[in-house]
Structure 1
Amino acid sequence: MRIGELAERAGTTTRTLRYYETRGLLPARRADNGYRSYDEGDLRLLEEIRTLQDFGFDLEETRPFVECLRAGHPAGDACPASLAVYRAKLDELDGLIERLRSVRERVGAQLARAELEALDCPAPRCARSVAEGEL
């Protein structure tokens, strides 16, 4: 298939496909007429890249999965390098989750403090502030 058809089937643009070629993620095969030529395997590579990017993997992190598929494995995560990327991504996600938990705790503490202060606020000022959306 040609580049336009592959882009349409993969739900991307021809520009993206050319970019993937320059990054070595998509093979740059040419037909006799000079047009780029792709097959179902290339579509599978693009589906793998897209799925991983939807999960938050950057483009370079998809490389081991693409190479695994190119090596003939039925799944891009059947190779040791892909498993290592999964492990690294899980470690990264665990760190992000922990930071978010910490921020949530701090925001919760700030809210609790602010609510207590609001209870101690002089009535005329607080009533006006609440009505005006200042609190």
Structure 2
Amino acid sequence: MAVRIGELAKATGTTPRALRHYEEAGLITSRRADNGYRIYDDSAAVRVRNIRRLLDAGLTLDDVRAFSACLDGDVMAAPPSEQGLRIAFERLAVLDARIAAQIAVRDRLAAALRAATGGKAARTVA
């Protein structure tokens, strides 16, 4: 059975725009119906869900390409490859650096607020 882009988007909790982006990145494929609509195999849903899991874990689309061979199965249960681990550790280092930079900015802002309010602790806005 085949599904159109809107159906695949709904089934995977994503958008047609994201699916087109994944297709442009070479992560999923479609064929065109006679009317020009994109048609995906049912198996594309598993692949898209795995792409989303990897993106949600902090990987980029470029990173996800390295996992192409296991996107059609249970990507989280697959034994990790050396390349996959390297990519994940590199991405974790990037995220840690970004978090550290954001904490430093936050601390500078909090200090500036304390200075501007006569030493009162900066309140946090929820």
Q: Residues 22-72 of structure 1, C-alpha deviation per residue, up to 9 Å, x if partnerless?
A: 3211134679xx9734133x222101211233344332222122x1315x7
Structure 2 equivalent of residue 124 of structure 1: none
- Whichever residue aligns with residue 3 of structure 1, its letter is R
Q: Structure 1 CA distance, aligned partners of 2:75 and 2:119?
A: 57
Q: Which has the higher contact order (CA 8 A, sep 6+)?
A: 2
Gaps of 5+ in 2: 121-126
TM-score scaled by structure 1? 0.63
Q: Structure 1 CA distance, aligned partners of 2:48 and 2:60?
A: 14
Write out aligned runs for 1:56-95 (5 A): 56-65=58-67, 67-70=68-71, 74-75=74-75, 78-95=80-97
Structure 1 equivalent of residue 124 of structure 2: none
Bigger Rg, which one: 1
Q: Residues 72-123 of structure 1, C-alpha deviation per residue, up to 9 Å, x if partnerless?
A: 76425632222222111110111012112211221222122222289xxxxx
Task: Choose the corresponding residue for 2:100, options 98, 101, 107.
Answer: 98
Aligned CA-pair RMSD: 3.1
Shift of 1:14: 4.1
91-100 or 5-14, larger mean C-alpha shift = 5-14
Higher strand content, 1 or 2: 2
Higher helix content, 1 or 2: 1
Structure 1 equivalent of residue 50 of structure 2: 48
Q: Structure 1 CA distance, aligned partners of 2:46 and 2:10?
A: 14
- Whichever residue aligns with residue 98 of structure 2, its letter is L
Structure 1 equivalent of residue 41 of structure 2: 38
Structure 1 equivalent of residue 25 of structure 2: 23
Instruction: Please identify runs of 4+ aligned residues in structure 1 that moved more than 6 A.
Output: none
Residues 115 and 14 of structure 1: CA distance in aligned 2, closer, same or farther (over 3 Å): closer
Task: Figure out how many residues of one structure are paired with residues of the other and give that number.
Answer: 113
Q: Structure 1 CA distance, aligned partners of 2:108 and 2:25?
A: 42
- Whichever residue aligns with residue 75 of structure 1, its letter is V
